[in-house]
Every structure is written in C-alpha cells, then in structure tokens.
Amino acid sequence: MTTPQRVAVVGGGWAGLAAAVRAAQDGHHVTVFEASRHWGGRARSLPLTLPDGTVTTVDNGQHILIGAYTETLRLMALVGVDVEATLLRVPLAMIDPAGNGLRLPHWPGIPAWINARLPLAVLGGVLQAKGWLWADKLALLTTATRWQLAGFTCAPHTSVAQLCARLPAGLRRNFIDPLCVSALNTPAERASGQVFLRVLKDSLFGVPGGSDLLLPRVDLGTLFPEAAVRWLSTLPHPADLRLGQRVYSLMPSPSGWAVNGDSFDRVVWANSEQKQALPLIGNAFAALKKGEASPAQRGWMAHTQGLAFEPIATVYAWCAEATGSHVLPQPMTALWPSAQHPGQFVFDRSWLGGLKGLLAFVVSASVGDAAALEAQVCAQAHTQLGLAVIPLKTVVEKRATFACTPGLQRPAMSLAPGLVTAGDHVAGPYPATLEGAVRSGWAAGQIDD
C-alpha cells in the first residue's frame, strides 16, 4: 500500500484518463484538468447531416483498434465498457474492390506459445491470399521468418522502405505501403522500420487474434472516456473532474507542485499541445534550478520541440445506390491509392450499426485541403468502386499523429521528481495509437513511495 497522494492530471484524453484511473485505483486523490468542453482529447464526436436532413453522430476520424491492444481492452473493461458489444471483431482482411488481397482465417484456440513461434493464421492467410503470385507469397513468408529470427529488430535509422526493399514491387505497393501508413500514419519511405517491426511482432506473433480488427460500433467518447469519467465519479472518494479548465500555471512548491495555485504531490502532464506545454514546463524547470535546466530536462524540451506531425483526413460520403443490406461486401475495403486517388481504405458504416449508405474514406498522411480531397475521393469511388457518392463532411486533423520516422528521439516520461508526462508521443515502442496513449498513461499513473 502506498500513502495516498494528491495527483493532478493535466489533459482528459485517453492517456490522461488512463493515468487518472490508475492513480485513483491505487487510492490516490485525483484531480483532472481538461481545457476543452469534452473528454477524450483529440478523439471527439461530431454531428453529421445526411442528405435527407437527418443528423447522426460520427467521430472526427474513422478509428481502428486491433486485438493486440491488450491494455486498452483491459482498461475499457475495468471502467465498465462491454467490449464485445461496443467493438466489432473481424479477422484482418485487406481486400481490394476486385476481391483480391490478404484475409487471415479465424482459427480460435491457438495457444499463445505456438502463435509466437509459428503464427498459423498468418501462414494460412498468406498462402490463401487471392490475386497474389506464389513468388510474392514465398517472398513475404521468407522475409517475415528472417525478421522473426532477428528478434524483430533492425538498425535504428532504417526506414520501412529500406527494410522491405527486397520484396517484390507489387507486394510493397499493395500490401506493405498501405499497412505501414495505416499503422504508423507515415509513408514507408520515411517511416521507422523498427516501430513497424514491433507492430508486426505484437499483432501477428503476439496474442492469438492480435491482428483482428476491432471496429467501434459506438463513438469514441462512449467507447472509453465517458465510461472512465463515470468510473472516476462514483468512487468512494470521487475524482475532482475539472472540465473546461485550462492550466495556466505550473510551479514547484514545498509539497511538490502547484497547478493553477493548488498544491499537489505529483503531476501527470498528459496534454500533447506544444504551445501550452513548452512554456509552462520550461518555466517550471527554470524555477527548479534557479534558471538552469538539467541535461535531461533540456533533452526533453529539445525532443518535444523536434516532433513533427502528420495529418489524417476522413471524408464522410453518402451513397444512395445500395440495394442490399450494405453498400460494400465487408466493413473495410482496401483501395488502390495514388496521387490522384489518395484514399487508402473505405469503411461501410452500415456494418457498424450506422445507416446504410454512409461511407468513410480514410486518407492517412493526407496532402491537400478538404475540397480537393473530396473531389479526389469522389472520383476514386467512381473509378475503383463503381459508386457515385456525395461528400457530406471532411475532417482533416492536421496534427493527428507524430511523424514516426527512423531514429526518432521522443520525449521521456520522467521530467523531475513528482512530474511526469504521458501521451502517445512519449518515448515507447509504439506509434501514435490509442494503445500507446493508454500504456503511457497507465505507467505515468503509478506512484511508488
């Protein structure tokens, strides 16, 4: 048992709420500061008006979880989320409009120790991949075996393009490139090979079903943040949840830290907004050392300032041509992206409990403004899917994720005694994902005497 402490969490996104749940579960007194008017951070819900005037709710982007998000799934269950009801679980399928591509079979009951050595579902999926040349299948299996024998490691400055340079061009174009940009939100030529390998290891060679797609049937607020807030509010000693309250002051105090003048023993900074974080934390460093930050603190400032960001665009569109229960034959269809047709995937929202006819086109690492993307996606839908679609709303998140580049030095979690940071951008093995945010927050919320 630890002595109860006063813990301030700055930021009410997935990382901040994970830290708050961890600290509160351990018996600490938690206060959460969230500057916006909603919980969930960058993941938020938006109203969408359909052609008939009906208003529905969508997220600010089409998000995917996978079966390897073990900590996220555990935390969701902890705060009372019915994981099976809120997520549609389907085996990984990257099937294009022609019906070609990789589809992993559903083989439950494979022991984890066998899957770690010989992922039978992956082997079966590759061998049965429709439209792939046998040379492509053999090349991928041989290369994956080589990665496994090397412990899924490579030189730190290796890009995904360099890592996969020996694979056939068609396999790189139709499988590796879309897989990389969907997982890391960074194009293969400038994406980290080491992070890509870690994602492959945990999803394909980790827990059975780790590569399964978990597609939200509900908005992301319902999926975790709102449940976490309810859980924190109903504790014997409820957390102090300060929605709409921006942190304007962070300074060291005799008892630890002062946030907006209130004293705390520990502060978890889970707000990734650089414009707010850098001046406040920089001033706190200066106050600690009478104007001189330590080398580690200067490194944190430099690594935070050095982060570049990648956008993600989601084009919500309406198709009135559906004659059956769904517009598309599966929840997610892999497209053929190009400069003129930038969408990598399209989601048929009717598979997720949404209205028939509502589609979501995802453009990771997007380029161009919303109007240009809408025109390109409409043309892509006509050319590749044979569908006439009407754009309804395009959401471009310009700072959706950090650019996951080779050898990237990410900010450390620990800044000073009693001051830590959390977020999907903090040093760790994963790219900018919900799982990375949750793992970072859970670790930051742990307090040792």
pLDDT recorded at residue 1: 52
Ramachandran bin of 3, using left for φ above 0, alpha for ψ from -120 to 50, beta for the remaining angles:
beta
Instruction: Fill in the amino acid letter for 285.
Output: F
pLDDT recorded at residue 288: 83
pTM: 0.94
What is the rounded average pLDDT of the residues 259-275? 92
What is the rounded average pLDDT of the residues 243-248? 96
Residue 431 has pLDDT above 90, yes or no: yes
* Close Cβ partners of 415 (under 8 Å, ≥ 6 residues apart): 269, 281, 285, 296, 297, 300, 421
The pLDDT-based confidence of 107 (bands split at 50, 70, 90) is confident
Residue pair 366/311 in contact by the 8 Å Cβ criterion: yes
pLDDT recorded at residue 274: 80
Residues paired with residue 361 on neighbouring β-strands, in sequence order: 315, 346
Q: What angle in degrees, to the nearest 10, is found between the helix axes of 120-127 and 134-149? A: 160
The pLDDT-based confidence of 110 (bands split at 50, 70, 90) is low
How far apart, in Å, are the Cα atoms of 268 and each of 155, 179, 273, 411, 442? 32, 33, 14, 14, 11
CA distance 61 to 400: 9
The pLDDT-based confidence of 296 (bands split at 50, 70, 90) is confident
The pLDDT-based confidence of 354 (bands split at 50, 70, 90) is confident
* Close Cβ partners of 388 (under 8 Å, ≥ 6 residues apart): 319, 320, 321, 381, 382
448 or 33, which is more confident? 33
* Token digits of residue 5: 């402490």
Residue 118 has pLDDT above 70, yes or no: no
Residue 449 has pLDDT above 60, yes or no: no
Kindly report the number of other CB atoms within 10 A of residue 273's CB atom: 12
Q: What is the mean pLDDT of the chain?
A: 92
The pLDDT-based confidence of 113 (bands split at 50, 70, 90) is low
Residue 315 has pLDDT above 60, yes or no: yes
> Of all helices (H) and strands (E), which one includes residue 436?
helix 434-444
pLDDT recorded at residue 424: 95
